[in-house]
């Protein structure tokens, strides 16, 4: 039981870290020596790096919002998990925790989908997706799985 709890906490924190990294790191897309993320476009020229504000479209703002919401919900879910761990009755399920984590996964999924579909509007054709984008997509199944485990998990002890 303890091992299972430890495992699910690690899974949750891994998903959270992935969400944080993918939201913050400026590597959603690469185009030559320009890397762009949700917040800024950075150009590296002759060893120097210059960043300016990202394209302020509606859709990229939606992606920003969804990523932040997903982080918020994931953090809330972790918090609720610890709360429920001590308050839940024996045999109860971590429904609330699971719902929050699943919502977080749905948010990151929507954000990644929007970025995939709409990035053609603000990226050139030659641009390729960066690792932060991939991390966002990896965070989605991790969060979903941990959320489902929370829902299935029954409290023992």
Partner 1 sequence: MSSVSSPVSLVLLPPAPQSEAIVIYTGWDRHALVGSEVRLYCSFFSWRWTSEDVTFSWSYRPDGSRDSISIFHYTGGMPYVDNKGPFRDRLEFIGNPRRRDGSILIRNLDYSDNGTFTCDAKNPPDIVGRPSNVRLLVYDKVPVRAGVITGAIIGSVLGLLILVVAIYYLMRFLVARRVFNLSVSKLEKGKKGKGKEGSQQRQGPVLYATLDQSSKLLKGVGSEKKKSGDSRKDKK
Site residues for partner 1 per CB under 8 A: 53-54, 56-58, 61-62, 64-66, 68-69, 72
Choice between 46 and 53, CB closer to partner 1? 53
Choice between 5 and 69, CB closer to partner 1? 69
Largest CA distance in the chain: 62
Choice between 85 and 114, CB closer to partner 1? 114
Closest CB 60 distance from partner 1, rounded Å? 9
Closest CB 114 distance from partner 1, rounded Å? 11
Closest CB 125 distance from partner 1, rounded Å? 24
* CA gap 140, 130 in Å, rounded: 16
Per-residue burial over 114-137, b = 16 or more CB atoms within 10 Å of its CB, e = otherwise: ebeebbeebbeeebebbebbebbb
Task: Please report where in the chains the tokens 């990035």 appear, as a residue.
Answer: 119
Residue 147: CB atoms within 10 A of its CB come to 27
Closest CB 64 distance from partner 1, rounded Å? 5
Residue 4's SS3 state is helix
Choice between 9 and 25, CB closer to partner 1? 25
Listed in sequence order, the DSSP H helices in the chain are 2-24, 58-87, 95-118, 131-152
* CA gap 123, 60 in Å, rounded: 11
Choice between 58 and 157, CB closer to partner 1? 58
Closest CB 58 distance from partner 1, rounded Å? 6
């Amino acid at each position: 039981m303890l091992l299972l709890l430890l495992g699910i906490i690690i899974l949750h924190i891994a998903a959270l870290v992935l969400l944080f990294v993918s939201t913050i790191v400026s590597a959603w897309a690469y185009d030559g020596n320009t890397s762009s993320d949700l917040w800024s476009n950075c150009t590296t020229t002759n060893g120097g790096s210059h960043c300016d504000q990202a394209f302020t479209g509606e859709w990229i703002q939606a992606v920003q919002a969804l990523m932040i919401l997903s982080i918020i919900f994931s953090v809330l879910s972790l918090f609720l998990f610890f709360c429920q761990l001590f308050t839940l009755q024996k045999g109860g399920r971590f429904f609330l925790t699971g719902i929050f984590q699943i919502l977080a996964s749905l948010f990151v999924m929507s954000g990644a989908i929007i970025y995939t579909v709409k990035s053609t509007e603000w990226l050139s054709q030659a641009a390729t997706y960066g690792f932060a984008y991939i991390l966002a997509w990896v965070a989605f199944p991790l969060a979903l799985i941990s959320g489902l485990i929370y829902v299935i998990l029954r409290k023992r002890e």
